[in-house]
Amino acid sequence: MISPKKVVIVGGGSAGWMVAAYLDAALNTPALRVADITLVESPDVPRIGVGEATIPSIRHILAVIGLDEVEFLKRVDGTFKHAIKYVDWVHGNGDSYYHAFGRRRLEPLDFSATKWLKSDRSLPFSTTISAQPTLCEDFIGPNGFPEDRTDFGFNYAFHMNALKFADYLCEVATARGVTHHLDHLTDVEMTENGNIAAIKTRGGLRLDGDLFIDCTGFSALLIEKKLGVEWIDCSQWLLGDRAVTIQVPYETNYPGYIRPNTLATAVSAGWIWEIPLQNRRAWGYVHSSQFANEDQAERELREFVGSFADELPARFVPFKVGYRAKAWVKNCIAIGLSAGFLEPLESTGLYMSDLATVMLSEHFPHHGNMAPLADRYNRIIADRFHEIVDFINLHYCLTQREDSEYWREIRRPERMHDRVRAKLEFWRHKPPAMPDWEDAWFPGQPDTPLVSGGLPGDHRPPIDTAGVFGLSSYEAILYGMDFLSDECDRWYGKNRPPSEVLLPVAERIRSARASLPRHDAWLQRVCGMPEFRSQ
């Protein structure tokens, strides 16, 4: 019988415990253990919980691990997420639009976007093709009460306390056989061929393994400190490098509702998130230290949140935007912040740990030869980072704001990624459509290979596979930010018919309003969320 592979995860948090719980669930059965999994996390590393938003892929992770959604929501103070609402991103005058998760049915030729472009654009694009923006405005969640058996089939994600999520996964994984050590890494033993042989801890442990997972955050103790893998900086296109956060308990201020969406509001030197949980609202100001120092950023966030937060503490979280030249080198794989981080504008932080974990389970080295698996894994992860860089950069490229030094800097041509520029220039000839992702190479796109970091492997130019952001996501941002406005005047004239909500969408809104409870009412009845007094 083949012995199970020894997998050693260094670092806990949501990334480490997602890897541990998912690999155990995906690879091991009561009759056959493919992987013996050990997780070591340092008791000295401070834990930071700022409120976390996700995208719908998180539901796959929960399903494979075998977590009940309601129990999950209870354990992580979770709420539902239909969409992201963007405020003040276009002109800074109160404009807003939604990026919703719902996917309308896309036939080979889908004319709903074309129909809107040929209208007077008097209704926001997202509200004409999806019910979810309207439900967000009404504070209605995606699900009915369990006894009603109402299923509208909405695609949704969650907001959560990521620290509680990590603790929940730890409880589940260790109960199923994952070994857990609270200890501090002190040394890494290497083999002659450059693999990691074992790690040593302050408590005297020596843990050997076949595969080592680096979940040590920006410290990157294995992938960078020991293996020297290069970090690819993305700050030319994404200027944010820190966040200041404030947590507002509902006992301090409850607005009378719980949003079923994330809120992202553009301000003078970046943008402010609002993430609703069952017991508090999490606020954070992602900004560039070039344009706002700590005092300025904290003052602006406090003014935005309101005077009720005056006595509440603020916390600064520095970060760097970019990713590893290679996430898998030899027998070491970086997952989480050690592999990369991009601004959380589209809630892709946990998603990249999610993707990396799923990809590792599908590329698990059952038979020993890791090189071809690592090459393919690195290609997939690099493509996805490239895709997310493009999509987040797109939000900044389309702004028309010039009211602060930060926004004027954002609009400089060198802040637009060449790949994004090529897409936008092509789409000024014709609106985006599904075939644009069949082969995501656009005229004018540079022939730039992946950065090698001096490592062997696949260095073809990365491509946009639309693995997470495809046509409907691009349409939401492009048309929410007034893309092709001048072109539509030329193509279709200025005297165009009023915009209309698609009939199936209007019917869905009517039915949902009649059948689905408010988000807070669902959480109170199903999850036991307390009833707070509006203030």
Give Cα 298 to chain centroid, integer Å.
Answer: 24
User: Strand pairing of 231-233 and 280-287?
Assistant: unpaired
Beta carbons within 8 Å of 338's beta carbon, 6+ residues apart: 11, 214, 215, 216, 217, 218, 219, 220, 221, 222, 223, 224, 324
The tokens describing 51, both together, are 């409120």
First-to-last C-alpha distance (Å) of the chain:
64
Separation CA 300–CA 428 (nearest Å)? 37
Residue at 71: amino acid letter: E
Beta carbons within 8 Å of 311's beta carbon, 6+ residues apart: none
- So what's the pLDDT on residue 535? 75
CATH 1.20.1050.10 for domain 5-75+159-233+321-369, yes or no, is no
- So what's the pLDDT on residue 108? 40
Q: Residue 449: how many CB atoms within 10 A of its CB?
A: 11
Separation CA 82–CA 45 (nearest Å)? 34
What residue ranges of the chain are covered by domains with CATH 3.50.50.60?
Answer: 5-75+159-233+321-369, 79-158+242-318+496-522
The tokens describing 310, both together, are 């005056």
The tokens describing 456, both together, are 């062997």
Separation CA 319–CA 241 (nearest Å)? 5
- So what's the pLDDT on residue 431? 93
Q: Which of 74, 81, 226, 326 is catalytic?
A: 81
CATH says 79-158+242-318+496-522 is which class?
alpha beta
Separation CA 500–CA 497 (nearest Å)? 9
The rounded radius of gyration (Å) of the Cα atoms in the chain is 24
Running along the chain, 535 residues long, what does each successive block of 10 average in pLDDT?
A: 90 97 96 96 82 93 97 98 98 96 53 89 94 97 91 93 97 98 97 97 97 97 97 96 97 96 98 98 97 98 95 95 96 97 94 97 92 93 94 97 97 95 95 87 79 71 87 96 95 95 93 97 97 88
The tokens describing 336, both together, are 């989480």
Known catalytic membership, residue 74? no
The tokens describing 487, both together, are 């072109």
Of 152, 134, 129, nearest in space to 142 by CA? 152
Residue at 363: amino acid letter: H
Give Cα 51 to chain centroid, integer Å.
Answer: 12
- So what's the pLDDT on residue 453? 62
* 523 to 53, 78, 146, 165, 520: CA distances (angstroms): 17, 9, 12, 18, 5
Separation CA 107–CA 85 (nearest Å)? 27
Separation CA 401–CA 397 (nearest Å)? 10
Q: Residue 486: how many CB atoms within 10 A of its CB?
A: 10
